[in-house]
Chain A
Amino acid sequence: MDNTMKKRWISLYVENQVGVLSKISGLFSGKSYNLESLTVGTTEDPTISRMTIETNSDEETYEQIKKQLNRMVEVIKVIDFTEVSVVMQELMFIKVKNCTPEDKTELFQIAQTYQAKVRDYGKDSVLLEFVHTAHKNTAIIQFLRSEFNSIEVVRGGSVGIEAITMPKR
């Protein structure tokens, strides 16, 4: 059994009902499971929501998490995304503040390099939108933090879906 801590992903089909999100997040807090991120939204079927959950855990705990999720009445299906081909992306906004004109020029170059969109900018700030894997977004935050002294970050959490052909994370 792999008892090293690592990032693992679960995709959940759940009933689109009041209290289900609370029940799922309550399981993680109540049983002391790590919860890195959780996203939720409705699907093509309005009675079903889908969640993408990222957790940092060892394999033993991870097995328990999946079993505990599976036994919940409101959970329709649990899919382990850790070892399958999935497309998984995260939306992230970064606002860089107190920019000099040189900073702004550099940010436009950064945006080009990292395929970010410049969503807005003002006299001394720039708002960038990134859609990447959570892993890459983390790296971008680290980089921007080292380059600029005032940044504001909002991350959306990963959303994932099984790939058709290409594996990508």
Chain B
Amino acid sequence: MKKISGNKLLVKALKEEGVDILFGYPGACTIDISDEIYKQDYTKVVLPRHEQALVHAADAYARSTGKVGVCLVTSGPGATNLVTGIATANYDSVPLVCFTGQVARHLIGNDAFQEVDIVGITRSITKYGVTVRKREDLGRIIKEAFYIARSGRPGPVLVDLPKDVMAELGSPNYPETVNIRGYKPSTGVHIGQLKRAVKMLGKAKKPLFLAGGGVNIAGANKAFTELVERTQIPVVTTIMGRGAIPTTHPLFIGNLGMHGAYASNMAVEECDLLFSIGTRFNDRITGKLHAFAPKATIVHIDIDTSSISRNIQVDIPIVADAKEAIEKLLEYVEPIEKKESWMEQIEGWKEEHPLRMKPKGDQMQAQDILETINEVFKDDDKIVVTDVGQHQMFTSQYLEVNEKTRLYMSGGLGTMGYGFPGAVGAQIGNPDSTVIAISGDGGMQMNIQEFATAVLEELPLILCVFNNTYLGMVRQWQKLFYGKRYSMTDLRAGAATRRGEEHPPKYTPDFVKLAESYGAKGIRVTEKSEMKAAFEQAKANRALKVPTLIEFMLDPEVQVYPMVRPGGTLEDLLMD
């Protein structure tokens, strides 16, 4: 048996795991791995311009392809720059394998150049993390890393690779099977519990489905829609669950939670059965805990036992993969007649406070932009990736999500800077889809350097920047709850404004010129009437294989409504 280096074994492992895209950034401790990839002319390597963008790109690639996203970065700062992205993936259950370089074993603990204890740093935000300390463990650890990342509740796994371990010669074998005695992700569905849940479905007078991101991750959208249609039970979703059923479906009410629709939140208040699937009842969803779904029996299906009865005490817990559970439910559930009076009550709430922005004359509003996207890209297979902030909430309210549209965002961690690199990763994984990023002027600048990656990879992205010259979501809280003291949220403030002078020129940066400087296209839209043409132009530009940035100039005074007061109850909604 010819011995091979750890570097060679890693490349072999990537091949066997079917990794065809590697998101990498090189450095001293991984240069041998880069060299091995070059020599074997193996995988397609994408080189984002910052490791944080790199891991977000791998994350969105994973979300949008169902494959494991793979990162390779160097030790020290390369590794620490991954931290935000790893936490983002962890909160949204995204399968990643992050390989980090590490200094040679005899240097570990010496405060060597570019040495950090990255396994220690990321311990609480990874599903699993390990430093490979022996060459003979390398193959097994890589195999386990991929298995752990994608099985059960998916999540990020970090594998730290000391340089000397990787140089050492050893077995060329990459194991075919995995056996981890402490890790047996639960499969199958407890039929007894399921039958109890089915019984509740039949008995309830005001039943309600609540679908979270788990439904989307499990790819259970079709099965779920079938379940909804068979039972005629209305649906609310979390923002991560949006698209679990097409948002245009007559049984879809809307999102619940802090910026959820009035009707959705009222339905949660009033329902007598809350049948929830794949959600962890995050505080942005529930508001004040003791007042959440006060009249309901709660059924909760989740793949992660620790998500059950953590925030909300549930009556019927079912530990299962969302898709398996829904498919099993379909075996047992009989068609149920529509609850007419319940539906009427919901329709009443919808009419009372429909989800729409208050028009302000001819002023362009976020809702107009999103509705234009719905219209212009109606027939496109598309992926929309957002950043974090007001634009994200507007998107979660007004973007139609259906069989043709997928929506990705940093829902759990709320990571600004996710949008643009996320779009890069999604487009790389889905070359035939139209990929639209929606960002604010704040988040866009957190990873603006990715223009280089997008242009060089010839990604025909459509990048929408909702520019209101403020960090809008924080400003919104300041306007509503902090006496309009706009501390630290004015993106045009600085030395001049501190001196009491006028704001500096309006465009800092000039996003259009910035896009053009990278070789991308830029369009600025200030009037409602220009929106459609801009999107048509961006759509046409896709043939040129360049990204198009569209900057929408918006009024900073516009707020996201409705809004549940932080820590308030879902009933206590602030309306425009």
A binds B: yes
Q: Are A73 and B148 in contact (CB under 8 A)?
A: yes
Minimum distance in angstroms from B330 CB to a CB of chain A = 28
In the complex, B309 has a CB within 8 A of chain A: yes
On whether the beta carbons of A67 and B127 are closer than 8 Å, the reply is: no
With the chains together, A15 CA to B183 CA distance in Å? 11
Complex Cα distance, B310 from A67, in Å, reads: 10
* Residues in chain A near residue B127, CB distance under 8 A: 73
Q: How far is the CB of B565 from chain A (nearest CB, A)?
A: 25
Q: Which residue of A lies closest to B185 (CB)?
A: A71
| Measured CA separation A27–B308 after assembly (Å) | 18
A64-B306 in contact (CB<8A)? yes
List, in ascending order, chain A residues with CB within 8 A of B306's CB. Answer: 64, 67-68, 70-71
Determine if B182 and A74 form an interchain contact, defined as CB atoms under 8 angstroms apart: yes
Q: Are A19 and B182 in contact (CB under 8 A)?
A: no
A167 within 8 A of partner (CB): no
- Asked whether B123 lies within 8 Å of A26 as measured between CB atoms, the reply is yes
Residue of A27, A63, A68, A75 near B182 (CB, 8 A) is A75
Interchain nearest-CB distance for B87 vs A (Å)? 12
CB neighbors of A among B125-173 (8 A)? 127-128, 130-131, 133, 148
Chain A positions within 8 Å of B123 at CB level: 19, 22-23, 26
Is residue B180 contacting chain A, with contact meaning CB distance below 8 A?
Answer: yes
Give the most central of A19, A70, A72, A76: most B CB within 10 Å.
A19
Bound-complex Cα distance A27 to B306 (A): 13
Closest Cβ of chain B: how far from A100's Cβ, in Å?
A: 49
Cα A76 to Cα B308 in complex, Å, equals 21
Shortest distance between the CB of A62 and any CB in chain B (Å): 12
Residues of chain B contacted by A73 (CB below 8 angstroms)? 127-128, 148, 180, 182-183
Q: Is A166 an interface residue (CB 8 A)?
A: no
Nearest B residue to A65, CB-CB: B306
CB <8 Å contact, A15 and B124: no
Please judge, given known A-B contacts A22-B123, A26-B123, whether A64 and B181 are in contact too, CB under 8 Å.
no
Which residues of chain B are near A68, meaning CB under 8 Å?
A: 306
Q: How many residues on A have C-beta within 8 angstroms of the other chain's C-beta atoms?
A: 23
CA–CA, A118 and B183, complex, Å: 46
Residues 43-69 of chain A, each 1 if its beta carbon lies under 8 Å from chain B, else 0? 000000000000000001001100110
Task: Give residues 120-166 of A contacting B (CB, 8 Å).
Answer: none
Q: Are A76 and B124 in contact, with the CB atoms below 8 A?
A: no
**Residue B313 at the A interface, CB < 8 A?**
yes
Q: Given that A64-B310, A67-B305, A76-B182 are known contacts, is A18 also in contact with B124, CB under 8 Å in the complex?
A: no
Distance between Cα atoms of A70 and B305 in the complex (Å): 9
**A63 to B313 CA separation, bound complex (whole angstroms):** 12
CB of B490 within 8 Å of the partner chain = no
CB-CB under 8 A from B309, the residues of chain A are 60, 63
Minimum CB–CB distance for B412 against chain A, Å: 16
Find residues 94-122 in chain B having any chain A CB closer than 8 Å to their own CB.
Answer: 119-120
Bound together, the chains give a CA A19 to CA B128 distance in angstroms of 11
| Complex-state Cα separation, A122 to B330, whole angstroms | 78
- Residues of B near A26 (CB, < 8 A) are 123-124
B304 at the interface (CB under 8 A from A): yes
User: How distant is the Cα of A12 from the Cα of B232 in the complex, in angstroms?
Assistant: 46
B180: which A residues are within 8 A, CB to CB?
73
Does B119 lie within 8 Å of A72, measured CB to CB? no
Bound-state CA distance A14–B181 (Å) is 10
How many angstroms between the C-alpha atoms of A73 and B310 in the bound complex? 20
Complex interface: chain A residues within 8 A of B119 (CB) = 19
> Does B120 contact A19, Cβ atoms closer than 8 Å?
yes
Distance (whole angstroms) from the CB of A78 to the closest CB of chain B: 10
Instruction: State in angstroms the CA–CA spacing of A4 and B308 once bound together.
Output: 21
Whether B120 and A22, one on each chain, are in contact in the complex, defined by CB atoms closer than 8 angstroms, is: yes
Interfacial chain A residues near B183, Cβ < 8 Å? 73
Instruction: Determine the distance from Cα of A68 to Cα of B304 in the docked complex, in whole angstroms.
Output: 10
Nearest A residue to B127 via CB reads A73
Q: In the bound complex, what is the Cα–Cα distance between A64 and B313 (angstroms)?
A: 12
Task: Knowing A73-B180, A76-B182, say if A18 contacts B131 (CB, 8 Å).
Answer: yes
State in angstroms the CA–CA spacing of A27 and B123 once bound together: 9
- Give the complex CA separation of A75 and B181 in angstroms: 9
A15 to B179, CA, bound (A): 13
Contact pick for A1, options B124, B130, B313, CB 8 Å? B313
B209 CB to closest chain A CB (Å) equals 25
Q: Which residue of B lies closest to A47 (CB)?
A: B181
- Look across to chain A and name the residue whose beta carbon is closest to the beta carbon of B144: A73
Q: What are the interface flags for A6-21 relative to B under an 8 Å C-beta threshold, 1 for contact and 0 otherwise?
A: 0000000011001100
Residue of A nearest to B310 (CB): A64
Bound-state CA distance A149–B305 (Å) is 51
Q: In chain B between 300 and 333, which residues have their CB closer than 8 angstroms to a CB of chain A? A: 304-306, 308-310, 313
Taking CB atoms, residues of chain B closer than 8 Å to A30 are 124
Tell me the smallest distance from the CB of B376 to a CB of chain A, in Å: 44
* In contact, A18 and B133 (Cβ under 8 angstroms): yes
* Chain A to chain B contacts (Cβ below 8 Å), 10 pairs: A23-B123, A27-B124, A64-B306, A67-B305, A67-B310, A68-B306, A70-B306, A71-B304, A75-B182, A77-B182
20 A-B pairs besides A73-B180, A77-B182 with CB distance below 8 A are A1-B313, A19-B131, A22-B120, A26-B124, A27-B124, A30-B124, A60-B309, A60-B313, A63-B309, A64-B306, A67-B306, A67-B308, A67-B310, A70-B306, A71-B306, A72-B182, A73-B128, A74-B182, A76-B181, A76-B182
